[in-house]
Amino acid sequence: MLGRVQHPDRDVTLGARTSHRRLPFEDPTSLQKRTFPRAGYLRGRRSCENNRVNPWIIASPAVVAAVAGLTAYGAVHPGSQLFGPTIRHTASPRDLAITFDDGPNPAMTPKLLDLLQRSAARATFFLIGRYVRECPDLVREISARGHTIGCHTDTHPNLLFAGPRRIHDELLRGSDAIASVTGALPKWFRPPWGFRNPWLAPATRELNLRVVMWSVLPSDWRAPSAAWLIDRMQPISTRASANAKQANATGDILCLHDGYHARQNGDRTYTLAALEHCLPRWRDLGLKFATIDQAVTPPA
């Protein structure tokens, strides 16, 4: 006896040699609907290669890259004025401003002071506030010998990612440490590693500090020898000879280190030896060794 079983997807006759199943794909209309649900949408439209594309979708990565590059330039390059005015040259091609960062360092700063005195040279020392508090007598000696003292923050942080409050506090504490020893607030500031961000300029304006960068950075902190460092400072001699007869030329600001920001008593023997070699040769070229106070034109 034959019987029939109902099923949502099929109708099967029991006992027959064959069974007949009516499935959706047997209907051509159903096949089109199931396989190509967007066929109606695509019918009569142009291919994707001819469709209009929002240009901002293409341009956005390039814009982001350009902004990132500009920000990096403004934050790091010593000549950038993007995050506030900076000084990186002396006003005269005959003036060479020798500057030292990361002191005072009892293991090296006194030796540099003696060398500068023998050479009748003046320099600028950008001091870290916490080391000023540790070595007040050395700070007084720097000032007594006629050198200029500038602020190099209180703890030498990376200001690139610092917020406005942290930046203001670092500059204020570093400046106050110097003033408590010398009796005068510094007028000059050098950011650690030269890194700046948009919040540095408001802080320096409020504290009456001018930002000093450099034109020559020979990386004396990683010098493998004095000879290596002497070679890295050769551009000073080259420019001194080339600019001697140019009335509108400017001079160099040399950035060296008498200390090490992470701890006291850092070894700067190669810096001392390289300077001992170069100072008389620079003088023979007609260069004068000036502090930032002496070498930079005051703002109008």
Structure tokens at 299: 């703002």
DSSP string, 27-46: SHHHHHHHH-TTHHHHTTPP
Spatial separation of the C-alpha atoms in residues 19 and 39, rounded to whole Å:
33
For residue 140, the one-letter residue type is: R
Question: For this structure, is 152 an active site residue?
Answer: no
Q: How many residues does the chain have?
A: 300
- Strand-pairing partners, residue 238, are none
Choose, from 147, 152, 168, 257, the residue flagged as catalytic.
257
For 84, left (φ over 0), alpha (ψ -120 to 50), or beta? left
Choose, from 101, 220, 252, 258, the residue flagged as catalytic.
101
For the stretch 82-98, what's the b/e string if a residue is b when 16 or more beta carbons lie within 10 angstroms of its beta carbon?
ebbebbbbbbbbbbbbb
How much is the CA Rg of the chain, to the nearest whole Å?
35
Question: Are the beta carbons of 197 and 162 closer than 8 angstroms?
Answer: yes
Half-sphere exposure of 79 (CA within 13 A, CB side): 5
Question: For this structure, is 257 an active site residue?
Answer: yes
Consecutive H or E run containing 87: strand 86-87
Spatial separation of the C-alpha atoms in residues 170 and 151, rounded to whole Å:
10
Spatial separation of the C-alpha atoms in residues 220 and 159, rounded to whole Å:
22
Spatial separation of the C-alpha atoms in residues 152 and 57, rounded to whole Å:
44
Consecutive H or E run containing 97: strand 95-103
Catalytic amino acids? 101, 257
